[in-house]
Amino acid sequence: MLDSKFVRENLEAVDAAMRSRGNFWDKDEFVSLDAARRRVIGELETLQSQRNATSKTIGELMKTGLQQEAEAAKEQVRSINAQIEQLEAERAEAENALDALVMAMPNLPSDTTPYGQSENDNVEIRTWGSPTVFDFAPKAHWDLGPELGIIDFERAVKLAKSRFILLAGLGARLERAIINFMADTHAARGYKEWWCPILGNADTLTGTGNLPKFEDDLFKTTNGMYLIPTAEVMLTNIHRDEVLDAAALPLHYCAFTPCFREEAGSAGRDTRGLIRVHQFDKVEMVKFATPETSFDELEGMVADAENILQLLGLPYRVISLCTGDIGFSAAKTYDLEVWLPSYNGYKEISSCSNCTDFQARRANIKYRDAAAFKGTRLAHTLNGSGLAVGRTMAAILENYQQEDGSVLLPEVLVPYMGGITRIG
């Protein structure tokens, strides 16, 4: 979340940033709540000073035998205490309202984030490879999968509901192969792998910005736990309420987890096949860095995600999201979009973001560098998909399909498939 003091001292700049993100926060409400909080604090300090001064006189009055005056002073203290109690309740109310307002505000975009109102204003940075060209009519993965007997959409609906996936035979093996290939590749590039819970408590989801704003997008259990929407939630919160040693930074973490999202309101072609489902697998990257290095670390994270796509031989492009399209916690985001013939276009397969100190403030993640400064400072956190497994499978099926209906497998996956080079 943002620092209330920073918001107060940079009100117009924050207001402009919120508007650039399409978030028309209530500036007047913030000013009103903040003024009420400061007024109450001022009155509390005055009353506390009066109480302290009056309390000191009580003993002196009693020593000199001025019992009646001492009792009057005690009554005055009791009256002041009642006023203080009322003012403390007012302060708590104002602070809770102010915290709720600030908690709902997104991160401030980086100066390097392009200005724009929607995804139409995103900026293409580079492309890799060329869109796949076929000398036959290619099929969409939602047709290829069932025909090859590796994806069963109908039975998945029977077992759960729509937009869940059932993989069979070589489809299940391909899912495992992709996961292991991604995890091994990231580990070889310096990421420490973790195996995480897939249920998190409210503090964990709040730390990354999923709560309270996006509760409707989460699956919630009957005892207040949440199915995680991404391993970012767990990896980031590993160091919640901790002070890291600057000498250990940056930290590079990765993890595979199933991910669960309600995807409320989504419709259209994206709900077909493997693109937008309620449960999907993903290998996630998370970094902890200092403010001085975090944007360089973001570029490195994007390169790590690109490496996966390049090894798989999948055409893609990198775009920089504009202010109106970046996620709630992000200050700067790059999306990697893979070429999908069924869309005759690119589709997001990874999103890499620098959240600066936004999540660290919520989760209380700090670092100490005794040689550089006194005390502690908030760390910067970064996250990125490395990659979404279902969308990777869809891209492989569509880009590597053959005229006879079979699918060749990328060379790097063959060892993970036990030597199998083709499905079908």
Cα–Cα nearest to 128, from 407, 304, 419, 337:
337
Distances from the Cα of 275 to the Cα of 7, 266, 268, 319, angstroms? 38, 11, 11, 19
To the nearest 5 percent, what fractions of the chain are helix, strand and coil? 45, 20, 35
User: In terms of C-beta density within 10 A (0-12 exposed, 13-18 middle, 19 or more buried), how is residue 208 classed?
Assistant: buried
Hey, what's the torsion of the CAs at 78, 80, 86, 90, to 10 degrees?
-160
Strands 365-368 and 377-378: antiparallel
Amino acid letter, residue 190: G
**Catalytic center residues:** 261, 276, 348, 351, 391
How would you write 114-155 as a 3-class SS string? Answer: CCCCCHHHCEEEEEECCCCCCCCCCCCHHHHHHHHCCECHHH
How many residues are given for the chain?
A: 424
DSSP-derived secondary structure letter, 167: B
Question: Around Cβ 82, how many Cβ atoms within 10 Å?
Answer: 10
Strands 251-260 and 192-194: parallel
DSSP H or E stretch at residue 179 = helix 170-188
3-state secondary structure of 85: helix
How far is Cα 300 from Cα 252, in angstroms, rounded to an integer?
Answer: 11
Question: Around Cβ 80, how many Cβ atoms within 10 Å?
Answer: 19
Residue matched to tokens 């993890």: 255
3-state secondary structure of 218: coil
3-state secondary structure of 159: helix
Question: Around Cβ 265, how many Cβ atoms within 10 Å?
Answer: 7
Residue matched to tokens 């869309």: 343
3-state secondary structure of 55: helix
DSSP string, 395-409: HHHHHSB-TTS-EE-
